Amino acid sequence: MNDVTTPPRPWVLHVDMDQFIAAVEVLRRPELAGRPVIVGGRGDPTERAVVSTASYEARAFGVGSGMPLRLAARKAPDAIILPVDGPAYTAASEQVMNVLRSTGAVVEVLGWDEAFLGISTDDPERWARETQAAVLAATHLHCSIGIGDNKIRAKLATGFGKPRGIFRLTADNWSEVMGERPTIELWGVGSKVSKRLSGLGIHTVHELAAADPAVLVGEFGPRMGQWYADLGHGRGSSVVDDTPWVARGHSRETTYQRNLVTRAEVEDAVRVLVGQVLEDVLAEGRPVMRLTLKVRYAPFFTKTFSRKLPAVTTDRAALEEAALSLVDKMETGREIRLLGLRAEMIMPADPAEAGPVKTTPIRGAF
């Protein structure tokens, strides 16, 4: 009888860079190492802006991403506050992803600072350690790595490994590690969903796993209800896809240092956003099929308004007309502190869903 060699087992690794943006800034300014660093807006806490990231030293003071920069400065008065530098983070991210690809893994990029790796090995911890070492040697940046038998478990495992660590989460230890944790700690469960689950008497991951799927379907619908039922068990896809990511849309938003008060101010601001978004759209070469306007009223109440266009287009006048029609849905008499505009484009393989494409030459677009 011939010996049969067992092939290596497939695994999913989730690589997450540690305090990525802050770490890039510290690399550029080594004197900041070990000090509380906050990155957000233009680096001016007297302006309206939010924290993009905070170093671990700043987080010890209660500073977190999304927090108003002014509040962060009060919590950590000795922190160094720096402006956001998108191009620098993009360059650092590309360097990291190139290192990950060089390991021989299938790499699915999730964002600036994280990616899934598809590998086959009998020793995933060794692969993870070697990956950490390769990233550190090439970029001087540290990362944490979660090991899982699918994406969900790998993603959640990373949190147990931070910072600079490695953790394995699989079907074998899922219940032990996750069972008594609140549902909000699951990937894809935010505060709203966790509150709805609580309304069903489901507070922990164990309770979610034990829940009747029919009850979840009744609350969340057939697709998401079943998804949450599977999530309670940690079930999910294990396929890592290295197909290049294609943006479905482009967004721009502005927080105004002085509230917009009049209709004319709002319309002028919307026209500016249309121009900014259109620049990104034209670079993609795909027409717009839907617009969404984000409005943040003072002091801090946010609503969104959306409409599908009658015909897909890159025509500035048509986009301005559609965007301004969304302004009509806004509450009158309320001051505006932020406006954002998202343009959703047809995907490369899609037909022109809304009919013929109405275009504007790039030269005449602005």
Convert the pLDDT of each residue in 299-325 to its tens digit.
Answer: 989 999 999 999 999 999 999 999 999
Nearest CA to 264 among 342, 331, 338, 327? 327
Where is average pLDDT lowest: 206-215, 217-226, 301-310, 340-349?
340-349
- Strands (E) in the chain, as ranges, are 10-17, 37-39, 53-54, 80-82, 106-111, 114-120, 143-148, 166-169, 249-260, 288-297, 301-313, 336-345
- pTM of the full predicted structure? 0.81
DSSP codes, 201-246 = T--BHHHHHHS-HHHHHHHH-HHHHHHHHHHHTT--------SPP-
Q: What is the pLDDT of residue 3?
A: 57
Which residues contact residue 3 at a Cβ distance below 8 angstroms, ignoring those fewer than 6 apart?
A: none
Residue with tokens 């060699």: 5
**Catalytic site includes residue 114:** yes
Supply 354's token pair: 């809304």
pLDDT of residue 357: 37
In this structure, what token pair is assigned to residue 119? 């590998």
DSSP code of residue 358: B
The DSSP bridge partners found for residue 53 are: 39
Give the pair of three-digit tokens for residue 264. 């004319």
User: From the candidates 108, 114, 207, 344, which is the catalytic residue?
Assistant: 114
Cα–Cα distance measured from residue 213 to residue 24, given in angstroms and rounded to the nearest whole number: 44
Give 348 or 289, the one with higher predicted confidence.
289
Helices and strands (DSSP H and E) totals, the chain: 13, 12
> 190: which DSSP letter?
-
Per-residue pLDDT at 355: 40
Q: Cβ(237)–Cβ(326) under 8 Å?
A: no
- Name 260's bridge partners: 336
Q: How confident is the model at residue 55 (pLDDT cuts 50, 70, 90)?
A: very high
Peptide bond before residue 7 is cis, with ω within 30 degrees of 0:
no
Distances (CA, A) of 159 to 155, 168, 244, 255: 8, 11, 26, 31
- Residue 40: CA count within 13 A, CB half-sphere: 30
How confident is the model at residue 4, as a pLDDT? 63
Which backbone phi and psi does 169 adopt, to 5 degrees?
Answer: -135, 120
Kind plus residue range of the DSSP H or E element containing 267: helix 263-284
Tracing tokens 């699915």 back to the chain, one arrives at 108
